[in-house]
Structure 1
Amino acid sequence: MEIVKRVRPPRGLARLLFRLPVHVYRLGLGRIFGTRMMLLHHTGRVSGLPRRTVVEVVERDPGGYVAASGFGPRADWYRNVRANPDVTLQVGGRTVRATARPLPEAEGGEVMARYGRRHPRAARRLSGLMGFAVDGTEADYRELGRQIPFVRFEPGD
């Protein structure tokens, strides 16, 4: 696997398209995404204002929901949940309070390898969007998972 390019967050029209799912949730239609996407309610690290971002659920287990910061550690939502880990999630028709916990690199690698097995086409496409060229092997996905930040959202009271 090799890094092809540095991917910057979308701007202009692309940003509007990326933000479209947030508006779908605001209209009360978030259920159409099932449990593959979630609306993350978090707090801005500088402004202290409420923020909303839709992220893909990479993995769901009894410990919570796992998401990857596809734009790396400089993504606003990732930096915000690192600064203020108390969040609220909307997944399917449920709203859950949770705590964000970054995963260690090795665990991120295992999560990405499992994701690659479950969703090979999506994993290959997403890898390309993030600027990585992968050949689809488990070793490639494991290495990719070590290079991008993952967060586990653990449901709380």
Structure 2
Amino acid sequence: MTDRDTTPRSPRRPSGWRRLAARLPIRLFRIGLGPLFGKRLLLLHHVGRVSGLDRMAVLEVVSYAPADASWTVASGFGQKADWYQNLRRQPKTLIQFGNRPHAVTAHFLTPDEGAEIMAEYARRHPRTARRLCAYMGLSVHGGETSYREAGRAIPFVRLDADLGKPQRGRERA
């Protein structure tokens, strides 16, 4: 794999009908149909770093540890994704998983941790892992080593539940 193969390109953001389709899961979560997505998607609430307004994004759960109450997600748009930058600014937020809200704190994983996560994800979901890498412009050849290299280039975030805190609302600064 060359350096060019491991440098993610910023995918084009959807527009028009594709944007509407991409945002449909947000509407489904908001009307109480979050359980339809099982353990594969979550709704992330975040605060706009410029506007200060509440924002939402539906993200795929790369890994879920129920015992630790933590979810790991990947940024398909890299570090330039609005939700990613907003969490960098304000890591304490709220997610909805199924129909349950959870107060969480975002922890940004190292490239080596990302490599391990991507290798495990590729074992569990090989087709989806190939599509994610292709979407980001990363060349993978199906081997664990190439998925580890891709995982080093993809930003991963672990959302840890703030246990012992109220799960209903979010405090504002």
SS in 1 for 2:52: coil
User: Which residue among 14, 27, 31 is the counterpart of 1:27?
Assistant: 31
- C-alpha distance in structure 1 between counterparts of 2:9 and 2:157, whole Å: 23
- The letter for the 2-side match of 1:90 is Q
Shift of 1:63: 5.6
1:38: which partner in 2? 42
Larger-Rg structure: 2
Residue matched to 1:12? 16
Do the aligned partners of residues 51 and 108 (structure 1) sit closer, same or farther apart at CA in structure 2, a change above 3 Å counting?
A: same
Matched, 1:119 2:99: no
What secondary structure is seen at the aligned counterpart in 2 of 1:133?
coil
Q: Judge conservation of contact 1:7–1:129 (CA < 8 Å) in 2.
A: yes
TM-score (structure 2 length as normaliser): 0.86
- Of 105, 116, 121, the residue aligned with 1:110 is 116
Q: Answer yes or no: is 1:57 the counterpart of 2:87.
A: no
Instruction: Quote the Cα distance in structure 1 between the aligned partners of 2:27 and 2:113.
Output: 32
- Count of aligned residue pairs for this structure pair: 157
Q: Which residue of 2 aligns with 1:141?
A: 147
> Equivalent residue for 1:153?
159
Deviation at 1:8, TM superposition (A): 2.3
Deviations 1:20-59 (A, max 9, x none): 1101111111110011100001111111110000000001
Residue 5 of structure 1 deviates from its aligned partner by: 5.1
DSSP-derived class of the 1:132 partner: coil
Q: Name which of structure 1's ranges 42-51 and 132-141 shifts more when overlaid on structure 2.
A: 132-141
Q: Take 1:103 and 1:54, find their aligned partners in 2: how far apart are those partners? A: 20
Aligned equivalents of 1:45, 1:5: Cα separation in 2: 23
Contact 2:115 2:152 in 1 (8 A): yes
Instruction: Specify every segment of 5 or more residues in structure 1 that has no aligned partner in the other structure, as ranges.
Output: none
- 3-state SS, counterpart of residue 135 of structure 1: coil
Give the Cα separation in 1 of the matches to 2:108 and 2:8.
25
Residues 43-97 of structure 1: CA deviation (Å, up to 9, x unaligned): 1111111000000000112261000001100000100111111111111232100
Q: TM-score, normalised by structure 1?
A: 0.94
RMSD across aligned C-alpha pairs, in angstroms?
Answer: 1.4
